Structure 1
Amino acid sequence: MQRYFIDHPSATDRFSIVGEDAKHISKVMRMSVGDQIIVVNNGNAYRTEIDSLEDRVVHVKTIAAIPFSNELPVHVTIACGLPKGDKLELITQKATELGVSEIIPFQAERSIVKWEPSKSTKKLERLNRIAKEAAEQSHRTVIPTIQNVQSFGSLLNREGNDHHLFFAYEEQAKRTDRTSFSEHLRTIDFGQSIFIAFGPEGGFSPNEAQQFIAAGFKPIALGPRILRTETAPLYVLSAISYQFE
């Protein structure tokens, strides 16, 4: 059943779907009055039936609330050093499917690309659209938050209540006495939050690693192999899903 997110509150058992989603329902899916869809509003999912539809607005009425959630039982934020090409789009799509809560792109020492302020808004709009579509496809009730690109310093001084701070460091993978990521996961409880930083192509510099450690982050190895910058976040999210789901 098709799923659509709406971002406006409703005090009744009726919702209105507008804009591109309404057009998708009427023109692409060619739905009609009486067809059913799932509407997600403020983290809650509802099975609804179409009351009326036009090109730019579709009105639906609630049939029943959907009581269960498909969200990860832990809150996961990933911070990604700006990678080349469209890798951040791939990370956004797949990480959303795997249950990430927040994605923060940041400028690392070894990031080759830079986000020009004039293009930042369009890039964020595209990433948010990718996250929304992936959340609908994977039947989530929450669309991940995509932050604007941050500096490395702002990453270290992040405000919040993250319970566990990690950074993926390839030098850690070379150690024979390394602690496996699964061992770290066993120290985490349901409902807690996890913050994990990943470097761009080339990984983190020794200077960045030292600053992470000084700020309370733990270095983690993702197995004995060195993963690509777009693979590492997906490895981590898969491991978290296996541990907690």
Structure 2
Amino acid sequence: MQRYFVEPEQMRDNQVIITGEDANHIVRVMRMKPNEKIIVSDGVSRTALARISESEPASVVAEIVEWLPRNSEPAWSITIAQSLPKGDKMELVIQKGTEIGAMAFLPFQSKRMIVQYDGKKEAKRLERWSKIAKEAAEQAHRHRIPIISQVHSWRELLKAAEGFDLVLFCYEQEGHAAHGRGIGTAVKEWRSKQEEMGKADEKANSPKVLLVVGPEGGFAEEEASQAEEAGAICVSLGKRILRTETAGIVGLTCLLYESGEMGGA
């Protein structure tokens, strides 16, 4: 069944109004008629099964049939902080990360990134990324669209990390070290620390996690040191070198497994 996101004010007690590209998609692409059903979410707190009552390319009106449970969102709020990759790799990270369950994306600049950042193109790029996240969220039957932050500098990223319960810094040197720490180990150590601090129930069950991924050239040693000083835990994603667009997807999947969503915990 087709799923669409609307602004909260477009959804009333018994009716929802869909406009813009989504209305055009319903009428001209899907060729849906009155009495056909769709799923609509306000991306915040309400998702409903609705029956189309009026169908025009500029505006579709649907009557709410029933409110649906919001049970497809992960308990862990995971943000992927991705150093800007070249080409359209960021689009892949956002698309697949949204499908898997990321709650937000934070693009940032780092020392060894290959792409030349152009602030003048940021608004257009954010618009494109947001559209990809919306479409992926609809396809995956998410109840919310992940937030995509503006591009951060390295210092801004370290500052933003202070607002998270757990920060994992994906560092290839950790995978080469004899004492290398994987995500599973890091999560277990963090959980133990939460228990010692008496925060197990609140933090360990629904933490805010930041997963930091480097660019094609990897992180510099000084960046790893600065990240650790800021409270991040350096982790390995295995002994093999992953592409930058692969690393975040693998790390996100590992975290959702550790959360119990995919059979772990």
Fold equivalence (TM over 0.5)? yes
Paired positions, count: 245
What is aligned with 1:67?
A: 69
- Shift of residue 240, structure 1, vs aligned partner: 1.9
Of stretches 190-199 and 177-186 in structure 1, the one that deviates more from structure 2 is: 177-186
- Shift of residue 20, structure 1, vs aligned partner: 0.2
TM-score, length of structure 2 as denominator length: 0.89
Instruction: Please say if 1:220 is aligned against 2:235.
Output: yes
Of stretches 219-228 and 25-34 in structure 1, the one that deviates more from structure 2 is: 219-228
SS at match of 2:228: helix
Tell me which amino acid in the other structure corresponds to 2:148. Answer: I
What is aligned with 2:199?
A: none
What is aligned with 2:19?
A: 18
- Shift of residue 8, structure 1, vs aligned partner: 3.2
CA distance in 1, matches of 2:162, 2:51: 40
Deviations 1:80-117 (A, max 9, x none): 11111110000000000011011011111011213322
CA distance in 1, matches of 2:182, 2:102: 21
CA distance in 2, matches of 1:160, 1:28: 45
CA distance in 2, matches of 1:65, 1:115: 44
What is aligned with 1:98?
A: 100
What is aligned with 1:80?
A: 82
Tell me, yes or no, if the aligned pair for 2:81 and 2:108 is still in contact at 8 Å: yes
SS at match of 2:116: coil
- Shift of residue 223, structure 1, vs aligned partner: 1.4
Tell me which amino acid in the other structure corresponds to 1:104. Answer: L
- Shift of residue 242, structure 1, vs aligned partner: 2.0
Runs of 4+ in structure 1 deviating by more than 6 angstroms, as ranges, are none
Instruction: Please say if 1:192 is aligned against 2:207.
Output: yes
- Shift of residue 44, structure 1, vs aligned partner: 2.1
CA distance in 2, matches of 1:241, 1:171: 23
Deviations 1:168-214 (A, max 9, x none): 00010001112221122334522111111110001100111111011
Tell me, yes or no, if the aligned pair for 1:107 and 1:114 is still in contact at 8 Å: no
CA distance in 2, matches of 1:116, 1:46: 40
Of stretches 216-225 and 155-164 in structure 1, the one that deviates more from structure 2 is: 155-164
SS at match of 2:174: helix
What is aligned with 2:251?
A: 236
CA distance in 2, matches of 1:117, 1:202: 21
> What is the aligned counterpart of 2:159 among 157, 174, 193?
157
Tell me, yes or no, if the aligned pair for 2:161 and 2:210 is still in contact at 8 Å: no
SS at match of 1:148: coil
Tell me which amino acid in the other structure corresponds to 1:69. Answer: N
Tell me, yes or no, if the aligned pair for 2:213 and 2:247 is still in contact at 8 Å: yes
TM-score, length of structure 1 as denominator length: 0.96
- For residues 105-144 of structure 1, the aligned pairs below 5 Å read 105-144=107-146
Say if 1:47 and 1:195 are closer, same or farther in 2 by CA, change over 3 A.
same
What is aligned with 2:30?
A: 29
Tell me which amino acid in the other structure corresponds to 1:39. Answer: V
Q: Which structure 2 residue ranges, 5 or more long, are not aligned?
A: 192-203
- Shift of residue 38, structure 1, vs aligned partner: 0.1
- Which structure has the highest helix share of the two? 2
> What is the aligned counterpart of 1:44 among 43, 46, 50?
46
Tell me which amino acid in the other structure corresponds to 2:245. Answer: E
Identical counterparts, % of pairs: 39
- Shift of residue 230, structure 1, vs aligned partner: 0.4
What is aligned with 2:196?
A: none
Tell me, yes or no, if the aligned pair for 1:115 and 1:149 is still in contact at 8 Å: no
